Amino acid sequence: MVTKKTELWILWPFVTVWNLLALILNITGRVLAGTLGVGLMIVGVALTMTVAGAPVGIPFAILGLLLIIRSIF
């Protein structure tokens, strides 16, 4: 839980820019995790369709699904 700290009024532009950069990095990380999750799911399903690749494909698909769920919530 993040507590609200009191800043000096003269530093509010720097605090605002810092918070904006943190928000942009947070959103970028979610998009990257979702994209990586979709890619892993596609590779996992493709490997699962080959019988020999099923032991590797199923964990890839599960990991991709977990990454997508994590990027949503």
Give the pLDDT score at 46. 95
Q: Letter for the amino acid at 6?
A: T
CA 29 to the chain's CA centroid: 5
DSSP string, the chain: -PPPPP--GGGHHHHHHHHHHHHHHHHHHHHHHHHHHHHHHHHHHHHHHSGGGHHHHHHHHHHHHHHHHHHH-
Per-residue pLDDT tens digits for 11-55: 888 888 889 888 888 889 999 999 999 999 999 999 999 989 999
What pLDDT score does 5 carry?
67
pLDDT the model gives residue 28: 92
Residue, of 8 and 1, whose pLDDT is higher: 8
pTM of the shown model: 0.71
